[in-house]
Amino acid sequence: MTEPNQNPDAGTPDPTQVRFLTPELCRIHLGSHGALHVTVKDERIYGGVYAVHGFPVGYPQGYISLIYTGGEAGDIEIGIIRDLGEFPPDDAELIREALRRRFFVHTITRIRHIGWKYGYINMEVDTDKGPVSFMMRGRHNNAVDFGPKGKVLIDVDDNRYLIPDVEQLPTRQKHDFRRYIYW
Amino acid sequence: MSNRLVMSVRRSALLNRQLPEELAELLRQEGVDPSKAWLSAEADLNLSGAYERVFLLAESDRLLTVAHPRDGFPRPIRLDIPRQALKEIRTRRGVGGGFLEALVEGIYVEILAYSNAQADTFHKVSKKLQDWLAGKEASTGPEDDYDPRKCPICGMTLRFKGDTCPRCVDRGAILTRVLRLMKPYTGWAILMFALLMVVVALQMIPPRLQKLLVDKALLTPAEPIPLATREMWLFWLVLAWLGVRVLASIGRMVNGRLSSFVATQITHDMRNSVLSRLTNLSVNYHDNNSVGRLISRVSYDTEVFGQFVRQVTQGFLAQIVMLTVTGVMLFSISWKLAMWTLLPAPFVLLASSFYWRRLYPRYHRVWDSRSRMTGSLSSILSGIRVVKAFGQEHREQQRFSRSSGYYRNSSRNVAYATSIFNPSMAFLFQVGGLVAWYVGGGEIIRQEGLTLGGLVGFSAYLGMFYAPLTNLTQLTDWLTRFFTASQRTFEIIDTAPEIVESENPKPLPAPRGGVVFENVTFGYSRHDPVIKNVSFEIRPGEYVGIVGKSGSGKTTLVNLLARFYDVDEGRVLIDGVDVRELDIEDVRKSIGVVLQEPFLFRGTIYANITYGRREATPEQVIAAAKVANSHDFILRQPLGYDTWVGERGAGLSGGEKQRVSIARALLYDPKILVLDEATSNVDTESEQLIQKALGRVTTGRTTIAIAHRLSTLKSANHILVVDGGQIVEQGSHEELMERGGLYHRLVKIQTELSREPTVDRLAEEDRRKK
């Protein structure tokens, strides 16, 4: 188990500069209580790190920002991973795991039923996390574009459901979907 | 550190969750007694972001997360952190969910993950645990289960506190409500209905006359009738026919005028009601609804109420009456023939039912796409200067064209469906007519009682019968539009304002201007506080500056003071009274705001200055303008105070608009004056003029200045430095400079920047040289 540097201000990254993290520059590992840690060469160990997608649609495997909470200064970016593929598989998997935790999105695999009632769209769907029923307001900001062909649906509780490519849905499901979410 | 842990006898369903017995038993085997936990909450996700029931248990001396054993986790205890190792608890927002985190050994550790459906619960949990760590009384009870953002009937998450639950709104009452709207016009309605009945009765006469005409005058009778008698029948029957037609036309004209009068009046009343509600709804409602959509509701949706009146008097109700009466006439001439004409009826019913189900969602699409197009247009026209400055005219044209295309396509879809349906229905009825001619013609040929005059009269009634029947197939179409639009209109009227006046509001007749923030916490979104446990006091007459970085929560403090929003926790007091207990009008009257972007309305400068105090005399207006350094430039305008300014004050410079807005605030004479970065958008010369004006305005009133240029705060009695939603420093300018903290750093940065040459400074230097 690796513990973070005792001096939290040592080697704090310059917030005005972009720093790309490479496998040569840093190592990704787990620390106490399973928290994600990043050790930057000749700098320090950052604990309690979380990962954020810069371009979740355009570059899902790259431009991933690693951030930690640095005391009074708030959240500070350690650096950006340009391409996750450059990293050793174990390190890359830890980052993917962190991204999965942060981006809690259901990917819809099948639309079982879609209907309209009282100004709400009711959906029964199969997702990668199991079958789900939800209600969403039939407004543009509740079904937003995900790339050129996809849609992210946001239900009344602000949970998210992704259809990566609406065109790839079976004809009947696509027709029903387009009847209610046509934009 | 010790604190009192209170487990109420009445338990919270959210924060005292019962563990499944099997899990509880496993924990007991591990030496953990779940019943000892003073807080027990259930999360729906595990730390890998997958659905799993994970429980958080807070005992007096430790925090645990527990779940059923599974692959990779053979024991039920996932995390066990002693209380002394915990320094802080917080929630962190993810995408579609969030985390409960603890500061342990200098790093934030994720304790628990949850989906957004549980975000509110874990925001509460975080607060409870922070109190627990701070040694305060930590308790849970049924009051923790109350969530103002959930519908109390069905439990659905609402858009904001006090929102109408669309699932539970009483739809059955729509028609009753519309009829109630017509109550003031009951007399007119009775008159219109009576006229309608007269017109229908008159329309029943001509076919009878036709029958007589054919049988008595035109056909050669079996028994000879004198020619003169037949000519007399012809003359009087045609004259009677003409008379009936004239009377029916007059009846229709009068009814048309009456219904237009009532219809336009009801639409006008509804528009006013909707706008009245919109202006009373809280700022949060307007944050959540785009201007374009609301314009569409006020402008177009309210028209259906007028259409309803027209339909009742001239449209569908008239058609139904006509249908019934002509039906009776048809049966009176020949019941056998009449039965044949009803053949298409079952097909009509089936088709209408199909039409209702399939068309309903399409109308929402038409409405939605039209709102979107209006919103797009409004955005382009409002930002036309930016569009032109960046040379993006073509791109905006394309963007609008896309919105217009959506509208075109959705309207086309509805129109296509309608254009197929209506002629199909008409064809069905015509087939019924042909059947009547065939069957009736056979009866005449076989001399079974029906005369030729009877068949001609029957055919005339049949035309009158089919015409309304054909129109009534559009009843579903109209009803759909009517219920959709009226539902949307009532939705606004039924929306409860989020900021509700206290039942017994306390007046604030002579405010002194004392302000206290007491442990205030507030967030615009559900679990993201912008202001965190803020406390400060401003004494009457004090000049207080608020400084901080963008997004630090400065303006939010003012929004809470003016009660544009209500605090989530804590209290805001004016003269020692909670603003929620005060008369809202008195609160707003006691506060005057000068904003960074001064908003002037279309109208004269005079009307803009007197906006908050219509009864002000010209002398008072001039006095206010003088103090605000705006009198001189106003007089330079061609029509002085009567000069019209365009939308948002177009025609005046930024500094001039700001000075008019200061004159407006001054005339309002508030005891608390809020200057929200009032000089940050103007040039140096205007700033000096405004500063001079403000110096005079602030005398004798409590002034809260949110300042971008820190040099303007040197004269402030007290400065609050806000960062991350908290007050991190406070004191006078000198004290804060001595302290060398955030304020000192900000002043230093601005001093460095102000050394850079600016146009104003260069112009000043140039003037001095000359």
According to the 3-state scheme, what is the secondary structure of chain A? Answer: CECCCCCCCCCCCCCCCCCEECCCCEEEEEEHHHCEEEEECCCEEECCCEEEECCCCCCCCEEEEEEEECHHHCEEEEEEEEEHHHCCHHHHHHHHHHHHHHECEEEEEEEEEEEEECCEEEEEEEECCEEEEEEEECCHHHEEEECCCEEEEECCCCCEEEECCHHHCCHHHHHHHHHHCCC
Which letter, b or e, does each residue of A9-46 get, where b requires 16 or more Cβ atoms within 10 Å of its Cβ?
eeebbeeeeeeebeeeebbbeebbbebbbbbbeebbbb
Q: Is A181 left (phi over 0), alpha (psi -120 to 50) or beta?
A: beta
Res. A26 pLDDT band, cuts 50 70 90 = very high
Query: CA-CA-CA-CA torsion for B594, B595, B598, B601, nearest 10 degrees?
Result: -80
User: pLDDT tens across B163-220, in order?
Assistant: 667 666 655 566 777 777 778 888 888 888 888 889 888 988 988 888 888 887 787 6
* pLDDT reading at A109 higher than 90: yes
> Which value, to the nearest 10 degrees, does the dihedral of the CA atoms of residues B265, B269, B272, B273 take?
-170
3-state SS, residue B214: helix
Average pLDDT estimate for B32-50: 88
Q: What percent of chain B has pLDDT over 90?
A: 9
Q: Is the dihedral of CA B654, B655, B658, B663 positive or negative?
A: negative
Mean confidence (pLDDT) of chain A: 84
CB contact under 8 A, B99 and A101: yes
Distance (Å) from the C-alpha of residue B500 to the closest C-alpha of chain A? 24
Return the amino acid letter for B353: S
Cβ proximity of B298 and B491 under 8 Å: no
Considering only CA atoms, which of B620, B530, B613, B517 is closest in space to residue B571?
Answer: B517
Contacts of residue B712, defined as CB under 8 A and 6 or more positions apart, other chains included, come to: B545, B679, B691, B705
- Average pLDDT on B502-526 reads 83
Can you give the pLDDT at residue B67?
Answer: 94
B484 touches chain A (CB under 8 A): no
Query: Is the dihedral angle over the CA atoms B89, B93, B99, B103 positive or is it negative?
Result: negative
Average pLDDT over every residue of B599-623: 85
B352 inside 8 A of chain A by CB: no
- The confidence score (pLDDT) of residue A9 equals 45
B651 versus B100: the higher-pLDDT residue is B100
pLDDT at B1: 44
Per this entry, what is the length of chain B? 770
For residue B58, give the nearest of B138, B135, B121, B116 by alpha carbon: B138
- Is the pLDDT higher at B124 or at B151? B124
> Residue B446: pLDDT band by 50, 70, 90 thresholds?
confident
Q: What is the distance, to the nearest Å, from the Cα of residue B394 to the centroid of all Cα atoms in its chain?
A: 32
d(C-alpha B661, C-alpha B164), whole Å: 36
B:674-733 residues touching chain A, CB 8 A cutoff = 724
Nearest to A159 among B113, B116, B169 (CB): B116
pLDDT band per the 50, 70, 90 thresholds, residue B160: low
> Strand (E) positions, B131-215?
138-140
Annotate B39-77 with three-state secondary structure: EEEEEEECCCCCEEEEEEEECCCEEEEECCCECCECCCE
pLDDT digits 0-9 by tens, B59-111: 988 999 999 998 888 889 999 999 999 988 988 888 888 999 999 888 888 99
Q: Residue B45 and residue A180: Cβ atoms within 8 Å?
A: no
Q: At what angle do helices B186-212 and B227-280 cross, to 10 degrees?
A: 160
B96 touches chain A (CB under 8 A): yes
Cα–Cα dist B244/B381, whole Å: 56
Whole-angstrom distance, CA of residue B656 vs CA of residue B685: 11
pLDDT in tens, B266-296: 888 888 888 888 887 777 777 767 676 778 7
Determine whether A76 is exposed, middle or buried from the number of CB atoms within 10 Å of its CB (0-12, 13-18, 19+): middle
Q: Which residue has the tokens 């055919």?
A: B459
Say whether pLDDT at B42 is over 90. Answer: yes
In this model, does residue B551 exceed pLDDT 80?
no
Q: Which residue has the higher pLDDT, B290 or B539?
A: B539
Q: Give residue for tokens 């230097």.
A: B765
Kind and range of the H or E run holding B756:
none
Q: What's the rounded Cα separation, in Å, for the pair B80 and B64?
A: 5
Show which residues on chain A lie within 8 Å of chain B, measured between beta carbons: 3-4, 6, 8, 31-35, 47-48, 50, 68-69, 74, 97, 100-106, 116-120, 129-130, 135, 137-140, 156-160, 179-180, 182-183
Residue A123 has pLDDT above 90, yes or no: yes
Count how many Cα atoms sit within 13 Å of the Cα of residue A11 in the half-sphere of its side chain: 14
Question: What pLDDT sits at residue B701?
Answer: 84
Q: Is B3 a residue whose pLDDT tops 60? A: no
CA distance B484 to chain A (A): 9
B724: chain A residues, CB-CB within 8 Å:
74
State residue B473's pLDDT score. 60
pLDDT, position B474: 64
Query: Can you give the pLDDT at residue B768?
Result: 61
| CA-based nearest residue in chain B for residue A181 | B365
Query: β-strands B672-676, B702-706: how paired?
Result: parallel
Structure tokens at B405: 């295309």
Q: pLDDT-derived band of residue A64, with 50, 70 and 90 as boundaries?
A: very high
What pLDDT is stored for residue A6 in this prediction?
A: 42
Residue of higher predicted confidence among B236 and B357: B236
Cα–Cα distance, A158 to A153 (Å, whole number): 9
- Asked if A101 and B487 come within 8 Å (Cβ–Cβ), the reply is no
pLDDT at B356: 63
Between B430 and B166, the more confident residue is B430
CA-to-CA separations, B452 to B234, B240, B319, B327, in angstroms, rounded = 16, 21, 28, 20
Mean per-residue pLDDT over chain B, rounded: 81
| SS3 state at B563 | coil
Confidence (pLDDT) at B674:
86
The three-state secondary structure class of B657 is helix
Residues of chain B above pLDDT 70, percent: 87
The answer for B 41-60 residues in CB contact with A (under 8 A) is 45, 47-51
* pLDDT level of residue A169 (50, 70, 90 thresholds): very high
Q: What is the pLDDT of residue B162?
A: 58
Tokens encoding B207: 């076919």
CB contact under 8 A, A116 and B364: yes
Percent with pLDDT over 70 in chain A: 86
Sheet holding B702-706, edge to edge: B591-594, B672-676, B702-706, B543-548, B718-723, B726-731
Per DSSP, what are the bridge partners of residue A133? A124
Check pLDDT > 80 for residue B119: yes
Q: Inform me whether the pLDDT recorded for A3 exceeds 60.
A: no
**pLDDT exceeds 80 at position B408:** yes
Pick the more confident residue, A133 or B425: A133
Please determine, for residue A4, whether its predicted confidence score (pLDDT) is greater than 50: no
> Which pLDDT does position A8 carry in this prediction?
44
- Predicted confidence at residue B488, as pLDDT, reads 74
CB atoms within 10 A of CB B53: 16
Q: Considering only alpha carbons, which residue of chain B is nearest residue A8?
A: B106
Q: What is the mean pLDDT of residues A172-179?
A: 86
Provide the CA B178 distance to its chain's centre, in angstroms.
21
Round to whole Å and give the CA distance between B598 and B657. 6
Contacts of B71 (CB under 8 A, 6+ apart): none
Please tell me whether residue B93 adopts helix, strand or coil conformation: strand
Going by pLDDT thresholds of 50, 70 and 90, the confidence category of residue B686 is low
pLDDT tens, position by position, B282-341: 777 777 676 767 787 787 778 878 877 777 777 777 888 888 888 888 888 888 888 887
Q: Which residue from B278, B31, B26, B5 is spatially nearest to B136, judged by alpha carbons? A: B5
Nearest CA-CA distance, residue B751 and chain A, Å: 20
